[in-house]
Chains A and B, each alone.
Chain A
Amino acid sequence: MATFSEVLQSAYQSKPDQVIITLQQAGFPDRPITYKDLLEGANGYAQTLAQQGIQPGEVVILILQHGVDLVFAFWGAVFHGAIPAIMPYLTEKLLPERYRHDLEALISVTQPAAIVTYPDFETEVRPALKPGDSVRTLILSDSIEASGVPDFTQFAGLQRDPEDIVLLQHSSGTTGLQKGVALSHQAVFHQLENLGVALELSPQDVVVSWLPLYHDMGLIAGFIMPILTGIHLVLLSPFDWVKAPQRLFQAVSQYKGTLVWLPNFAYYFCAQKIRERHMKGVDLSSWRAVINCSEPVRDDGHQIFVEKFSPYGFSENALAVSYAMAENVFAVTQTRIGEPLYIEDINREILQTRKFALPASNSNASVRMVSCGKPVPNVSVKIVDLNGNALKDRRVGEVAVQSNCMLNEYYHRPDATKETLLPDGYFLTGDYGYKVGEELFITGRKKDLIIVGGKNVYPMDIEQLAMEVDGVHPGRVSVFGIFDEEKGTEDVILVAEVDTQDEAERQRISDQIRAVVTRGSAIALRHVYLVNPGWMVKTSSGKNSRYANRERYLKEINGK
């Protein structure tokens, strides 16, 4: 069993001139990066970390935009034997104070020794640092040692053990940033082997990705996997893609891309926003698989995608699905590439009331389910009830996973780690689903988590923000997700109790809630619904019952 550093040292020595990454940035020529470029660029960062006294095994937070600095900084940290964790960059929408609040939350739990960022960003980061906290140095991207031929005897990363933690992966928001998934070299390599078999990966594959690197899908499938397995990666920026989704298709055509991972909303987004003129000369026939991952999968999104892109050589059999999570490094299941998806219509009422997935006889009252495929090799999935007992086929329960590629722990969070493990070592995912044979279907979520465009949103983070608005009762705000059929992802709805009956005042509160949430979380609320005191449904223990509030909201809205 190897480590990241050993594998890349070997690639550097055996195939230095192989282009491993092609970096695309709107308005600039494509930039090919060979293994030689990658290791020599990363070497500068590794040397800088060493000079700054960062010890192997210490965490280094990377706050850099999607681009070559981030690529080199990540691998530089690995070569130094430090543990990189990528923090999302500040966007235009987000208030700098709120960003610093999130950064402080991350620092308090993760205890990083260093932060790497741009000189321009130093003023944003500095105020988040407190005397006596763990951060000993702020490293600026313009003071990095020049890239150069690496002296492998100096790479502390080569002294790491396969069981050691190699990276941390967080989801967004205050809550997500306080729960870092710690992964070992060994776990990642196991995942890559398992996934490689499931995808029938070959050196001829080309991965094209626009996914952010602070998310497991982008970090593993769209970054680490291709780089460690020698597969060409064409890397686009998420900021470029969202303004011009056609760039993905143009890149696939230009570089003969074979594998792309997309969250469910992206199927709708691409099909709706791309025009014929964007697709001139685009040939998608190289595409082996477009893998739907990280959001609930919808067949109608697949259908509009096929309709839109089959004239350009996209084959319906390239539609694929995976169920994945950072705690398993990445893929838990994967559909068979090149084969039609397993889709079934389930009786909606029996599913909801009896938690049983009965194939429907009447399509009007059914819900269409798309299988996420079978577990990849060395991963087992079972469906369990509240007591952790395994359920039979078609019974809906919580999805539990065991594998040879599980997380080491939630970093510095033994409480959270313990909470999610069954006595037999299975990890409780917080997702509900059912099995038919080995096929896994996901039906919902136990946690109140909302997934917007593939990004995890914790309702309590948003509720906390809204409570800051004058006129809103603390503890009397409820946030939940509602599926948006047109966009193929969830919309975020906020309900708040207010005392005033004055229309103008209510409008002011509503506008302020929108503003504070947008600037505090970068989430745009679909609807702010103000209600009178006493509306909110609470659980017997006085906790916010988001589920019940959502039901009540839907009833009132649909009744109008």
Chain B
Amino acid sequence: MSQAMITILAQKIAQIILKEPNRTIQADEALISSGLIDSFSLVDLALLVEDEFGVVVDDTELNPDSFDTLEQLAALIQSKQ
């Protein structure tokens, strides 16, 4: 389940947020602290998670202390499902 979720997140982030559909994102790659997902796109990430998984990520959770990688994001989503 978690692996499937990571695959979906990686695809959607590359396509919708980075606008580089061929870009691969590793499960343990830093997303926020590295600046890969910039501050203006964090809200897009929250909306994407909401649309795909029906889970609301609070804006206070949109920081590297809550999650920084796809693995951590998937865990956060699962904890809310």
Q: A243-B62, A244-B59 are in contact. Are A92 and B43 (CB under 8 A)?
A: no
Q: Is the CB of A243 within 8 A of B42?
A: yes
The B23-48 residues at the A interface (CB cut-off 8 A) are 32-35, 38-40, 42-44, 46-47
Which residue of chain B has the shortest Cβ distance to A95 in the bound complex?
B35
Q: A244-B59, A275-B47 are in contact. Are A524 and B38 (CB under 8 A)?
A: yes
Q: A92-B32, A92-B35, A522-B35 are in contact. Are A453 and B40 (CB under 8 A)?
A: yes
Q: Is the CB of A243 within 8 A of B39?
A: yes
Q: Is the CB of B39 within 8 A of A242?
A: yes
Q: A242-B43, A273-B47 are in contact. Are A26 and B60 (CB under 8 A)?
A: yes
Give the CA-CA distance A519 to B39 in the complex, in Å: 13
Which residue of chain B has the shortest Cβ distance to A277 in the bound complex?
B56
Give the CA-CA distance A240 to B35 in the complex, in Å: 17
Q: Is the CB of A269 within 8 A of B40?
A: yes
Instruction: Say if the beta carbon of B64 comes within 8 Å of chain A.
Output: yes
Give the CA-CA distance A26 to B58 in the complex, in Å: 10
Q: Determine how close the nearest CB of chain B comes to the CB of A273; give it in whole angstroms.
A: 5
Q: Is the CB of B42 within 8 A of A242?
A: yes
Q: Determine how close the nearest CB of chain A comes to the CB of B60; give it in whole angstroms.
A: 5
Instruction: Say if the beta carbon of A389 comes within 8 Å of chain B.
Output: no
Inter-chain contacts of B35 with A (CB < 8 A) = 92-94, 518-519, 522, 524
Instruction: Say if the beta carbon of A239 comes within 8 Å of chain B.
Output: yes
Which residue of chain B has the shortest Cβ distance to A238 in the bound complex?
B39
**4 nearest interchain CB pairs?**
A93-B35, A244-B59, A243-B59, A27-B60
Q: Is the CB of A239 within 8 A of B47?
A: no
Instruction: Say if the beta carbon of A91 comes within 8 Å of chain B.
Output: yes
Q: Is the CB of B64 within 8 A of A92?
A: yes
Give the CA-CA distance A522 to B36 in the complex, in Å: 11
* B33, B46, B62 interface centre (most CB from chain A within 10 Å): B62
The A200-248 residues at the B interface (CB cut-off 8 A) are 239-240, 242-245, 247
Which residue of chain A has the shortest Cβ distance to B38 in the bound complex?
A524
Q: Determine how close the nearest CB of chain A comes to the CB of B44; give it in whole angstroms.
A: 7
Q: Is the CB of B38 within 8 A of A93?
A: yes
Q: Determine how close the nearest CB of chain B comes to the CB of A248; give it in whole angstroms.
A: 12
Q: Determine how close the nearest CB of chain B comes to the CB of A560; give it in whole angstroms.
A: 16
Inter-chain contacts of A453 with B (CB < 8 A) = 40
Which among A91, A93, A244, A518 is the interface contact of B43 at CB below 8 angstroms?
Answer: A244
Inter-chain contacts of B47 with A (CB < 8 A) = 273, 275
* A94, A240, A243, A247 interface centre (most CB from chain B within 10 Å): A243
Give the CA-CA distance A242 to B62 in the complex, in Å: 10
Q: Is the CB of A273 within 8 A of B44?
A: yes
Inter-chain contacts of A518 with B (CB < 8 A) = 35, 38
- Interface flags for A485-507 (1: CB within 8 Å of B; 0: not) read 00000000000000000000000
Q: Determine how close the nearest CB of chain B comes to the CB of A196; give it in whole angstroms.
A: 33
With A242-B39, A273-B44, A519-B35 known, 10 other A-B pairs at CB within 8 A are: A27-B60, A93-B38, A240-B59, A243-B46, A243-B62, A247-B59, A269-B40, A273-B43, A275-B47, A518-B35
Inter-chain contacts of A275 with B (CB < 8 A) = 47
Inter-chain contacts of A269 with B (CB < 8 A) = 40
Inter-chain contacts of B62 with A (CB < 8 A) = 243
Q: Determine how close the nearest CB of chain B comes to the CB of A166; give it in whole angstroms.
A: 31
The B1-58 residues at the A interface (CB cut-off 8 A) are 32-35, 38-40, 42-44, 46-47
Give the CA-CA distance A242 to B40 in the complex, in Å: 6
Which among B39, B42, B44, B59 is the interface contact of A91 at CB below 8 angstroms?
Answer: B39
Give the CA-CA distance A271 to B34 in the complex, in Å: 28
Inter-chain contacts of A247 with B (CB < 8 A) = 59
Which among B33, B40, B46, B59 is the interface contact of A92 at CB below 8 angstroms?
Answer: B33
Inter-chain contacts of B42 with A (CB < 8 A) = 242-243
Inter-chain contacts of A27 with B (CB < 8 A) = 60
Q: Determine how close the nearest CB of chain B comes to the CB of A320; give it in whole angstroms.
A: 24
Q: Determine how close the nearest CB of chain A comes to the CB of B76; give it in whole angstroms.
A: 15
Inter-chain contacts of B44 with A (CB < 8 A) = 273
Q: Determine how close the nearest CB of chain B comes to the CB of A168; give it in whole angstroms.
A: 26
Give the CA-CA distance A245 to B62 in the complex, in Å: 13
Q: Determine how close the nearest CB of chain A comes to the CB of B58; give it in whole angstroms.
A: 8
Give the CA-CA distance A355 to B33 in the complex, in Å: 46
Give the CA-CA distance A91 to B38 in the complex, in Å: 10
